[in-house]
Homo-oligomer: A and B are copies of this chain.
């Protein structure tokens, strides 16, 4: 498989973790955001949404899948071990809800294209952009911290005592929160879980700074 990726992309970070956890090898195809390579015609032909990541399958005529959560659900259906979702419908709903708190309600607001819009159209400086960034991380983590307190068994995973989709999404989001110097003291449960997960080799190998395109 080929993964269209960018070392710092939080959504690509998720898919790198997911591929590592499933024990799947892939060829990284870096796209440089600063050069707008993800908006070039050749990439848009593969992924009309023009976002990173995308995963080109070896099967299905090299079909290119997009959207990190759709890719992770697909990987989980095709390669069930280790599972990314609980075995019961209620558990799956809870994990998907926690996952979407990051994937839908937090991360898209802090995407690079959005921060660029703030600078370009609203004339925001580094301070204005950082305030925006931290505001939405904090808003998103507030609910997630409560849900993790309710559902984490031993403070090592967000839900129960096994790995799930929300863990895969938490670590990249925590990485970004630290990068923007967000105050994480209100979120001890999330910090403890992320710290445990970051020690696992499949998570560590997916970190931005160890990717071939890291600068």
Q: State the A residues within 8 Å of B (CB).
A: 44, 47-51, 60, 63, 65-67, 69-71, 73-74, 77-78, 89-90, 92-94, 96-97, 99-101, 103-105, 107-109, 111, 113-114, 117-118, 121-122, 124, 128, 131-132, 135, 139, 142-144, 146-147, 150
Q: Provide the bound-state CA to CA distance between A94 and B144, in Å.
A: 28
The copy count of this chain in the complex is 2
Query: Which residue of B has the minimal Cβ distance to A51?
Result: B105
Q: Provide the bound-state CA to CA distance between A50 and B144, in Å.
A: 10
B100 near A109 with CB under 8 A, answer no
B89 near A74 with CB under 8 A, answer yes
Q: Taking the nearest CB of chain B, how far is it from the CB of A172, in angstroms?
A: 14
Query: Which residue of B has the minimal Cβ distance to A123?
Result: B122
B117 near A93 with CB under 8 A, answer no
Q: Taking the nearest CB of chain B, how far is it from the CB of A98, in angstroms?
A: 8
A90 and B63 contact, Cβ closer than 8 Å, known pairs A48-B147, A121-B131: yes
A69 and B104 contact, Cβ closer than 8 Å, known pairs A49-B97, A117-B132, A131-B121: yes
Sorted nearest first, the 3 A-B pairs with minimum C-beta distance are A48-B146, A49-B143, A70-B96
Q: Report B-chain residues with C-beta under 8 Å of the C-beta of A71.
A: 93, 97
B92 near A49 with CB under 8 A, answer no
Most B CB within 10 A of own CB, among A70, A117, A146: A70
Q: Taking the nearest CB of chain B, how far is it from the CB of A165, in angstroms?
A: 11
B96 near A69 with CB under 8 A, answer yes
A73 near B93 with CB under 8 A, answer yes
Q: Provide the bound-state CA to CA distance between A44 and B107, in Å.
A: 21
A78 near B89 with CB under 8 A, answer yes
Known: A67-B96, A67-B101, A67-B104. 13 other contacts (CB 8 A): A48-B142, A48-B146, A48-B150, A49-B101, A50-B143, A70-B97, A74-B90, A74-B92, A100-B103, A104-B107, A121-B132, A122-B122, A122-B128
Contact of A100 (CB < 8 Å), options: B50, B70, B121:
B70
A96 and B73 contact, Cβ closer than 8 Å, known pairs A122-B122, A122-B124, A132-B121: yes
